[in-house]
Amino acid sequence: MNYRREIDGLRAIAVLPVILYHAGFSVFQGGYVGVDVFFVISGFLITTIILNDLKQGRFSILRFYERRARRILPALFTVVAACVPFAWVWMTPVQMDKFSQSVLATFLFLSNIYFWRDSGYFAAAADEKPLIHTWSLAVEEQFYLLFPLLLLLLWKRGARPGTFWISVLAVASLLFSQWASGVDPEKNFFFTGSRIWELMVGSIAACIMVKRPPAPKDGVAALGLLMIVFAIFAYNDATPFPSFYTLVPVLGTAFILVFADKNTMTGRLLSMPFLVGIRLISYSAYLWHQPIFAFARIYNITAPSQLLMLALALLSIGLAYLSWRFVEQPFRRTKTGPLKSRKSVFLASGIGMALFLAFGVYGDKSDGIPNRLPANVASFYATNEWDKSCLYQRRDGQPDWPNERCIFNKGAPLKIAIWGDSIAASLTPSIARVVQENGVEVHQLTYGSCMPVRGLHRAAVEGQDPCIDFVNRSHDFIQKAGFDAVVIVANWPTYLESAASLEPVRTSPKAEFTDVFKQSVDQLGVPVLLLFTHPSAKYEVIDAAGRVLLHDNLVPKLGISIQEFHDRTQRTRPLLEKAAKTADVQTLSMESLFCDTYQKGECVFSAGQDIFLSDKVHFSPTGADIVAGAVYKKLAEMLNLSPRQ
């Protein structure tokens, strides 16, 4: 195909917003659409190459995959190899385990599936995953595993170039993505079936250009560029994606590919030397930026400054140039490069992938290679994890009760239930231990990110049906099982801080919550102990402490001011207080346990050699023991238990 500088510039328009979006610059709130622009360009270029080879009778599937290997793997090997030493030194065992799994997925070209399945409630923040951006490479490689064969089949059957059938598949994929965006948005984002229509739009554009290219139209090309720019600045993380919204940047890209050339205004704009230069390093820049940003966020306890993120964005451009110059270019050369034959390309690719897969298996099977850390640090992580074995999540389905696995002190004369979300789950083992000596059986009824109030659920959160089902079924079980008391605990700010966070929402959310909470409690017919909100962090407490322990034997002092805690819970506190008073239930303020107790004016996450949170919000075993002691005092009053020895 003839060289088109405007396509090079379009690649720059795609990669720069992605980098700035991942760097956290809010003005580029829709910068992620750059990936969709890449998909269209990729579909266009690959289809053009295949169709031209078919026309000339020289198409070879082995040659096609040799080109892909030369294009994709050398820079990918380099970037992942560069990640390993930073992961080795800075990552916790849990993080290293996840990183190892992502390396495995990357070189099996299944990282889109992996990151979809790793995007649940307890997954690390996406911006702390060094290889999460490889999901788009996986989508492309899965697409190109079969698409060349489809084109070859259509060509041999006389459907040249096959525009109709490609269009049918593209429409089917688009409709699926629109449907899935409302049913399972996380799966939809990563799923190849929801994305292939974008590559196929590029393929359709290529078919048009190969068969009968239309005359350049400056107005249509300019409209296409405006559509891309509009999406970059107008879309945000709340925009359903991919969906019909994705048509804007995708069709905008197609308009440029079909109607722009070097003589149009859009073509001249996209052919500026700066943009063309960025294009040359666009693939490497895409590979480098996310690991650099992720490791900066992993290393820093607090969020890196925007100035630092800008500097790191520039660093990714610099590293991209170096890897383009010294890695990409040499390995693409078939005559003067280090890999001259197809056999050598496939052999080197196989060896490189095998080495990374071996590392991934080792890191995964060893649970994050904890022996790379000093003994005191490895022990610190191991002893401060909380038990998730009885916490149900959406992927687990619905539990049946009584659930023998989640009953503590079975057969004791008194019986209580711990009902709530993952905060309740992190507390249950400690509560079960402190009540054991007084003959109390404990049932754990916990479901991740699910508020234990019958009749209300989180608004604007997809997939709430399993949560609603859990609340209804567990509520019915508590009613019928003859409990002596129930402890209700949750991460209340998650559900109550936003004015529109509850459904059904009426004119007064405050009255709504109070009334429905009272009704839910009254229907239980069991004495209730309601635990109020506890202080939480904006960073992973165990990771922050662990990084300090690497070079210091003392756990750092971590926490927030009481004022900040009050600011974060300014809506939740009065809601819970009024609901508890209206429903006439016992309460426990966890503020009194961690605020103003260890340090004046501070709510602490650590004290001495102890930490009280395992992550941002869930209790460590030590923190849970503190809460359990206070819970016991309340239960002793409610159930006439003897004082703890």
Same domain for 205 and 270, yes or no, is: yes
Structure confidence by residue, pLDDT tens digits, 118-167? 875 555 678 899 999 999 999 999 999 989 988 888 888 776 667 888 99
pLDDT in tens, 360-410: 999 999 999 999 998 888 889 889 989 888 998 876 666 676 778 899 999
Residues 353 and 448 in one domain: no
Query: Is pLDDT of 505 > 50?
Result: no
Q: Is the pLDDT of residue 72 over 70?
A: yes
Question: Is residue 214 located within the same domain as residue 335?
Answer: yes
Mean pLDDT value across residues 281-301: 94
**Last residue within a domain, chosen from 311, 344, 372:** 372
Dist. CA 298–CA 354, nearest whole Å: 27
State the chain's maximal CA–CA distance in angstroms: 90
**How far is 262 from 271, CA to CA, in rounded Å?**
7
Residues 339 and 423 in one domain: no
DSSP, collapsed to helix, strand or coil, labels residue 125 as coil
The alpha carbon of 7 is separated from its chain's Cα centroid by a whole number of angstroms, namely 31
Q: Does residue 595 fall inside a structural domain?
A: no
pLDDT tens, position by position, 18-59: 999 999 999 999 999 999 999 999 999 999 999 999 988 888
Claim to verify: residue 365 and residue 395 sit in the same structural domain: no
Q: What is the mean pLDDT of residues 213-238?
A: 94
* CA 626/CA 617 separation, integer angstroms: 15
Q: Are 450 and 472 in contact (CB under 8 A)?
A: no
Rounded Cα–Cα distance for residues 280 and 322 (Å): 11
Residues with Cβ within 8 Å of residue 205, at least 6 apart in sequence: 40, 43, 44, 254, 257, 258
pTM: 0.84
As a whole number of angstroms, the distance between CA 265 and CA 149 comes to 37
Instruction: Round the average pLDDT of the chain to a whole number and report it.
Output: 90
Q: Tell me: do 58 and 159 sit in the same domain.
A: yes
Quick check: 403 and 410 in contact, CB under 8 A?
Answer: no
Domain for residue 544, yes or no? no
Q: Domain for residue 381, yes or no? A: no
Residue 50 lies in a domain: yes
Which residues, 6 or more positions from 222, have their beta carbon under 8 angstroms from its beta carbon?
264, 265, 266
Q: Which of 260-274, 313-327, 500-514 has the highest mean pLDDT?
A: 313-327
Q: How far apart are CA 116 and CA 111, in angstroms?
A: 8
Mean pLDDT of 411-424: 96
Q: Is residue 506's pLDDT more than 50?
A: no
Task: Give the pLDDT of residue 537.
Answer: 93
Confidence of residue 443 (pLDDT cuts 50, 70, 90): very high
Single-letter amino acid code for the residue at 588: L
CA distance 147 to 166: 10
Same domain, 274 and 408: no
Overall size of the chain counted in residues: 645
- Parallel, antiparallel, or unpaired: how do β-strands 440-447 and 414-420 relate? parallel
Q: Choose among 436, 460, 431, 461: nearest CA to 446.
A: 431
Amino acid at 201: V
Task: Please answer whether residues 386 and 129 qualify as being in contact, where contact means their C-beta atoms are separated by less than 8 angstroms.
Answer: no
| Residues of the chain above pLDDT 90, percent | 68
Q: Which residue has the tokens 């939480």?
A: 536
- The Cα–Cα gap between 205 and 48 comes to 9
Pick from 346, 372, 398: which residue ends a domain? 372
Residue ranges making up the domain that contains 530: 386-534+571-590+620-639
406 and 356 part of one domain: no
- Listed residue (221, 185, 182, 231) closest to 37, CA to CA: 231
In single-letter form, the type of residue at position 92 comes to: T
Tokens of 159: 């459907």
How many domains is the chain built from? 2
Domain annotation covers residue 309: yes
Q: What is the number of other CB atoms lying within 10 angstroms of the CB of residue 358?
A: 12
Q: Is the pLDDT of residue 507 over 50?
A: no
Give yes or no: residues 422 and 360 share one domain.
no
Question: Is residue 313 located within the same domain as residue 358?
Answer: yes
Q: Assess if residue 645 is contained within a domain.
A: no
**522-578 confidence digits (pLDDT tens):** 999 999 999 999 999 988 899 888 888 877 777 888 999 999 999 999 989 999 999
Classify residue 560 by its DSSP letter.
E
Q: Which two tokens stand for residue 483?
A: 């409990």
pLDDT in tens, 581-617: 999 999 999 999 999 988 899 999 999 889 999 999 9
* pLDDT tier, 645 (very low <50, low <70, confident <90, very high otherwise): low
Specify the CATH number for the domain of residue 513: 3.40.50.1110
Per-position DSSP letters for 440-485, written without gaps between them? EEEEEEEETT--S-TT-EETT-S--HHHHHHHHHHHHHHHHTT-SE
Q: Are strands 391-392 and 440-447 parallel, antiparallel or unpaired?
A: parallel
Angle 134-140-143 from CA coordinates, rounded to 5°: 140
Could you give the CA distance from residue 34 to residue 38 in angstroms, rounded to a whole number?
6
Q: Where are the alpha helices (DSSP H) in 260-281?
A: 265-270, 273-280
Q: How far apart are CA 54 and CA 160, in angstroms?
A: 10
Question: Is residue 347 located within the same domain as residue 392?
Answer: no
Q: Is residue 42 part of a domain?
A: yes
Residue 276 has pLDDT above 90, yes or no: no
User: Are 412 and 349 part of one and the same domain?
Assistant: no
Is 605 part of a structural domain of the chain?
no
Residue where a domain terminates, one of 311, 342, 372: 372
Which strand (E) or helix (H) includes residue 345?
helix 342-365
